[in-house]
């Protein structure tokens, strides 16, 4: 660690590095530890996934990805993300707006509620919907009488996905909006803008990087969610199997190569997310730093 | 902004509309975890004979399936590997109590048995159940508390011991306790136990359904493992039933019956045999005789007096399983 006394005397950012007093070996050890850690826990599994996926050759890999079951799993996963991510944007922006810009009773409670999915095990999130919408659940009889199918069908999967992902956008936006305060919006309103215009031309541009970041995270989780979706899916091939569920099924059927082929797609998605995020930060680093406040 | 809201509304509408509709020529078969290939082939053959129908498949652990059906999963038929899980649906009023009389052979079109898989060359020379309690042998099978597969293993070992010790309950208990003590790791399910045995290379013998050992050999190499069939084992039924409430609601009872009957035809039996299950049909059984070594099979009814009794005596809290399995 840097000696606090020396650090506190360093007036500029540039001179900080000169003021850091670790010996070279200490630096090297720290770097080796971080890289080894990342290598073992992140890189190695990733290599294994792709290695297993291609274990039986490229044509088997292609076959696994183009089989009807896999294609429908990919389609369903994209559909679920396409529904739940926009809904999450609406929810996240509204919640962040309410919390950051207004004072009202129960605000702290709302903030806590938003964090709930982070603290609840995904399996429980799924079971909650079973208890609500299941045939023996609270609303089961009413839904059945009206011919509405939620559980073990796409609506149930979407609901479970929304539940586990809804903190992502809101969590990114709340601190950002709180920090920015109401000044810009008040200026816009005093210049004659209406509420929508203030939101569209002032607030949104101010938070766009935070929003985009939240959407990326939300999307990654929406496509990758396993626990909650597993409980409400019903595991019907070609109809209610998402990609993560499909991976498990293939693996359980002693079809490791196909399982890892599908897993490699999910891993690929994670990589794309990572690259997008890095590109965003590289290109708009200064702006992001300015608007995100760090 | 309006366009965005419109898009959201469209997607929300799509999501409500996308719940699948059923019809009289479409069946959902809720099946056990590793039956995908079997039923992919069965369904293909069935649809070829009955053009215009469609069969959807759902696969998961059968206890999870039974629970999902009780909660509204619209499965017209179940093809399980556990009788108890169908009995669960009977208790919920979804399947009639005498379902085992609706189809031949106790409504079990094919069967399997707990069997052994050892490492190539059988280095520990494991031949039968009594070898499993030797001090130098490590046995792998999943936790009988959570796995139906392991319950069969437990029952088969108990059935063997009952015969070997001529019903001396104390000795049977000692035998089963010793067997449990030879298991270094209890995984939660059959697939995890396979991974422990095959990939982590722990243990000398894996006990699982005979139908599973084929999949293991195919995935991990025929030359690495050998199948050993014990002298005696327990008949493991693969029960099928129509889910009455669902079939009546969907109007699919006739199709459901035709579909389950198909499993008993020579064609259906042949597909089952090719997937490692023992066929009931004599001609098909003769055709695949080489792949299924002779074994004397005891039944749950003969040895234990039926599943209800097993549930009460063995699997209930504080029952014989708890006493032998101990506080692990």
- pLDDT confidence bin for B127, thresholds 50/70/90: very high
Q: How many CB atoms lie within 10 A of CB A281?
A: 14
| pLDDT for position B125 | 95
Decide if B61 touches A, using CB distance below 8 A.
no
- Report the distance separating Cα B177 and Cα B171, nearest Å: 10
Of the pLDDT bands very low, low, confident and very high (cuts 50, 70, 90), residue B216 is confident
CB atoms A154 and B18 under 8 Å: yes
Could you give the CA distance from residue B78 to residue B32 in angstroms, rounded to a whole number? Answer: 9
> What pLDDT score does B18 carry?
44
Residue of B nearest to A258 (CA): B219
Pair (A19, A71) in one structural domain: no
Distance from the Cα of A174 to chain B's closest Cα (Å) equals 21
Minimal Cα–Cα distance from B45 to chain A, Å?
17
CB B58 within 8 A of CB B75: yes
A8-22, A108-122, A241-255, B163-177: least confidently modelled range: A8-22
Name residues 184-243 of chain B within 8 A of A (Cβ).
191, 215-216, 218-220
Buried b (16+ CB within 10 A) or exposed e, B42-62: bbebbeeeeeebebbbbbbbb
Does A79 contact B at CB distance below 8 Å? yes
pLDDT tens digits along A265-279:
999 888 888 888 788
pLDDT of residue B19: 43
**Is A109 within 8 Å of chain B by CB?**
no
- The parent domain of residue A106 ranges over 56-292
Please check whether residues A124 and A16 belong to one and the same domain: no
Q: Which residue has the higher pLDDT, B128 or B81?
A: B128
Enumerate the residues of chain B whose CB falls inside 8 A of the CB of residue A130.
71
With 90 as the cut, is the pLDDT of residue A294 above it? no
pLDDT in tens, A84-103: 999 999 999 999 988 888 88
**Best B2, B11, B15 residue to mutate vs chain A (most A CBs within 10 Å):** B15
Q: Are B212 and B32 in contact (CB under 8 A)?
A: no
Contact flag A83-B72 (C-beta cutoff 8 Å): no
Q: Over chain B, what is the mean pLDDT?
A: 89
CA gap B16, B32 in Å, rounded:
29
Q: Do A238 and A176 share a domain, yes or no?
A: yes
Top mean-pLDDT range of A47-61, A191-205, B170-184: B170-184
Distance in angstroms (rounded) separating the CA atoms of residues A176 and A96: 9
Q: Is the pLDDT of residue A5 over 50?
A: no
Query: Can you give the pLDDT at residue B271?
Result: 96
Q: Is residue B231 scored above 90 in pLDDT?
A: yes
Any CB–CB contact under 8 A between A151 and chain B?
Answer: yes
Of B71, B191, B220, the CB nearest to A136: B71
Closest CA to A206 of A232, A175, A229: A175
Both tokens assigned to B6 = 């419109």
Q: Which of B85, B80, B100 minimizes the C-alpha distance to B35? A: B80
Instruction: Give the whole-angstrom CA distance, residue B56 versus residue B31.
Output: 10
Asked if residue A3 has pLDDT above 60, the reply is no
Domains of chain B: 24-111+237-291 (3.40.190.10), 114-234+296-325 (3.40.190.10)
Q: Any chain B CB within 8 A of the CB of A209?
A: no
Cβ A235–B59 below 8 Å, yes or no? yes
Structure tokens at A14: 């540039």
Which pLDDT score, from 0 to 100, does residue B246 have? 94
Same domain, A87 and A184: yes
In this prediction, residue A283 carries a pLDDT of 74
CB pairs under 8 A between A and B: 94
A239 has a chain B CB within 8 A of its CB: yes
Say if residue A190 is in the same domain as residue A149: yes
Cα distance between residue A262 and residue A53, in whole Å: 8
Which residue has better confidence, A230 or B24?
A: A230
Per-residue CA distances from A6 to A13, A15, A18, A238 (Å): 13, 11, 10, 64
Question: Residue B6: which pLDDT band, with cuts at 50, 70 and 90?
Answer: low
In chain B, pLDDT over 70 holds for what percent of residues? Answer: 92
Write the pLDDT tens digit of every residue in B8-50: 555 555 544 444 455 678 999 999 877 888 999 999 999 999 9
Q: What is the pLDDT of residues B242-292, one digit of tens each?
A: 999 999 999 999 999 999 999 999 999 999 999 999 999 999 999 999 989
Instruction: Please tell me the number of Cα atoms within 13 Å of B73 on its side-chain side.
Output: 31
Question: CB A280: neighbour CB atoms within 10 A?
Answer: 16
| Domain at A130, CATH number | 1.10.3720.10
**To probe the interface with A, which of B34, B41, B68 has the most A CB atoms within 10 Å?**
B68
ipTM of model: 0.72
Q: Would you state the pLDDT for residue A292?
A: 52
Interchain contact A175–B (C-beta under 8 A): no
DSSP B207-264: EEEHHHHHHHHHHH-TTTEEEE--SEEE-EE--EEE-HHHHHHHT-HHHHHHHHHHTT
Confidence (pLDDT) at A8: 43
Q: Is-contact B205 B137, C-beta < 8 A? A: yes
Q: Give the count of domains, chain A.
A: 2
Residue B1 pLDDT > 80, yes or no?
no
- Give yes or no: residues A192 and A173 share one domain: yes
- Interface contact B36-A196, CB threshold 8 A: no
Do A132 and A269 belong to one domain? yes
Q: Does A36 lie in the same domain as A162? A: no
Residue A151 to residue B28, Cβ atoms within 8 A:
no
Q: Are B17 and A225 in contact (CB under 8 A)?
A: no
User: A285 at the B interface (CB within 8 A)?
Assistant: no
Structure tokens belonging to residue B16: 């409500």
Q: Which H helix or E strand runs over A117?
A: helix A107-119
Are residue A208 and residue A62 in the same domain, yes or no? Answer: yes
> Average pLDDT, stretch B301-325?
89
Mean of the pLDDT values across residues B49-57?
Answer: 93
Residue among B12, B19, B72 minimizing CB distance to A135: B72
Whether the pLDDT of residue A291 is over 60: the answer is no
pLDDT band at residue B190, thresholds of 50, 70 and 90?
A: confident
Q: Is any Cβ of chain B less than 8 angstroms from the Cβ of A130?
A: yes
Model-level pTM? Answer: 0.78
Same domain, residue pair A7 and A86:
no
**For range B100-114, the mean pLDDT:** 95
Whole-angstrom Cα distance, residue B111 to residue B235?
7
* Residue of A48, A67, A70, A135 to mutate when probing chain B, most B C-beta within 10 A: A135
Asked if B68 lies within 8 A of A234 by C-beta distance, the reply is yes
Residues A45 and A78 in one domain: no
For residue A7, what pLDDT is reported? 44
Nearest chain A residue to B20, by CA: A153
Comparing CB atoms, the residue among B11, B20, B59 nearest residue A82 is B11
* Cβ–Cβ contact B71 with A under 8 A: yes
Tell whether B246 lies on the interface with A, counting CB pairs under 8 A. Answer: no
Question: In B, which residues are within 8 Å of A254 by CB distance?
Answer: 34, 215-216, 218-220
B221 vs B210, higher pLDDT = B210
CA distance to partner chain A, nearest, from residue B16 (Å): 6
Taking contacts as CB-CB distances below 8 angstroms, the residues of chain A near B31 are none
pLDDT band, residue A26 (cuts 50/70/90): confident
pLDDT for res A181: 81
Q: Clarify whether residues A111 and A241 are in a common domain.
A: yes
pLDDT of residue B167: 86
For chain A, percent of residues with pLDDT exceeding 90: 27
Q: Do B56 and A130 touch (CB under 8 A)?
A: no
Lowest mean pLDDT among A23-32, A63-72, A273-282: A273-282
Query: Residue B287 carries which DSSP code?
Result: H
Average the pLDDT over each of A111-115, A171-175, A289-293 and give the range with the smallest value: A289-293
Averaged over B60-74, what is the pLDDT?
Answer: 89
Task: Quote the pLDDT of residue A2.
Answer: 41
Strand-pairing partners, residue B9, are none
In this prediction, residue A19 has a pLDDT band, given cuts at 50, 70 and 90, of low
Return the C-alpha torsion angle B309, B312, B318, B319, nearest 10: 10
- The Cα of A252 is separated from the nearest Cα of chain B by a number of Å equal to 6
Q: What is the DSSP string of A41-52?
A: IIIHHHHHHHHH
Question: Whole-number mean pLDDT of chain A?
Answer: 84
How distant is the Cα of B43 from the closest Cα of chain A, in angstroms? 13
């Amino acid at each position: 660690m840097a000696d606090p006394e020396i650090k506190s005397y360093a007036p500029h950012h540039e001179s900080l590095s000169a003021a850091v007093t670790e010996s070279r070996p200490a630096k090297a050890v720290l770097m080796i530890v971080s890289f080894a850690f990342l290598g073992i826990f992140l890189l190695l599994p990733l290599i294994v996934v792709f290695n297993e996926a291609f274990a039986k050759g490229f044509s088997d890999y292609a076959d696994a990805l183009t089989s009807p079951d896999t294609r429908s799993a990919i389609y369903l996963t994209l559909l679920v993300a396409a529904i739940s991510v926009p809904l999450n944007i609406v929810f996240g922006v509204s919640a962040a707006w309410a919390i950051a810009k207004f004072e009202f009773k129960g605000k702290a409670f709302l903030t806590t509620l938003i964090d709930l999915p982070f603290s609840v095990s995904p399996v429980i999130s799924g079971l909650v919907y079973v208890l609500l919408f299941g045939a023996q659940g609270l609303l089961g009889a009413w839904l059945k009488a009206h011919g509405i199918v939620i559980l073990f069908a796409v609506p149930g999967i979407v609901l479970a996905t929304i539940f586990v992902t809804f903190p992502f956008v809101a969590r990114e936006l709340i601190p950002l909006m709180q920090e920015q305060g109401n000044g810009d919006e008040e200026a816009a309103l005093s210049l004659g803008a209406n509420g929508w215009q203030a939101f569209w031309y002032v607030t949104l541009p101010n938070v766009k990087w935070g929003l985009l970041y939240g959407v990326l995270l939300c999307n990654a989780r929406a496509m990758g969610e396993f626990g909650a979706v597993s409980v409400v899916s019903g595991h019907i091939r070609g109809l209610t199997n998402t990609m993560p569920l499909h991976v498990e099924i293939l693996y359980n059927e002693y079809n490791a190569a196909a399982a890892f082929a599908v897993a490699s797609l999910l891993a690929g998605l994670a990589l794309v997310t990572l690259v997008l995020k890095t590109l965003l930060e590289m290109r708009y680093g200064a702006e992001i730093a300015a608007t995100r406040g760090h | 902004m309006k366009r965005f809201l419109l898009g959201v509304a469209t997607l929300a509408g799509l999501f409500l509309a996308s719940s699948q509709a059923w019809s009289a020529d479409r069946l959902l078969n809720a099946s056990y975890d590793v039956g995908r290939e079997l039923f992919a082939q069965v369904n293909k053959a069935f649809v070829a004979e009955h053009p215009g129908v469609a069969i959807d498949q759902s696969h998961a652990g059968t206890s999870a399936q039974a629970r999902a059906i009780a909660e509204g999963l619209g499965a017209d038929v179940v093809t399980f590997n556990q009788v108890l899980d169908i009995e669960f649906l009977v208790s919920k009023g979804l399947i009639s109590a005498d379902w085992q009389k609706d189809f031949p052979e106790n409504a079990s079109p094919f069967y399997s048995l707990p069997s052994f898989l050892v490492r190539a060359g059988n280095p520990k020379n494991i031949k039968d159940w009594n070898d499993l309690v030797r001090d130098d042998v490590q046995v792998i099978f999943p936790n009988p508390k959570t796995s139906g597969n392991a319950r069969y293993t437990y029952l088969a070992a108990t059935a063997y011991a009952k015969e070997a010790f001529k019903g001396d309950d104390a000795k049977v208990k000692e035998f089963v306790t010793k067997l449990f003590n030879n298991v270094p790791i209890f995984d939660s399910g059959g697939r995890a136990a396979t991974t422990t045995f095959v990939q982590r290379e722990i243990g000398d013998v894996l006990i699982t359904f005979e139908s599973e050992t084929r999949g293991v050999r195919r995935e991990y190499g025929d030359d690495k493992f050998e199948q050993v069939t014990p002298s005696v084992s327990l008949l493991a039924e693969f029960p099928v039933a129509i889910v009455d409430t669902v079939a009546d609601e969907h109007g699919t009872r006739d199709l459901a019956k035709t579909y389950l009957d198909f499993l008993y035809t020579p064609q259906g039996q042949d597909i089952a045999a090719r997937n490692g299950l023992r066929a009931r049909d004599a001609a098909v059984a003769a055709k695949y005789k080489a792949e299924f070594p002779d074994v004397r099979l005891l039944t749950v009814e003969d040895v234990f007096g039926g599943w209800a009794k097993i549930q009460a005596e063995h699997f209930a809290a504080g029952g014989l399983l708890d006493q032998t399995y101990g506080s692990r």
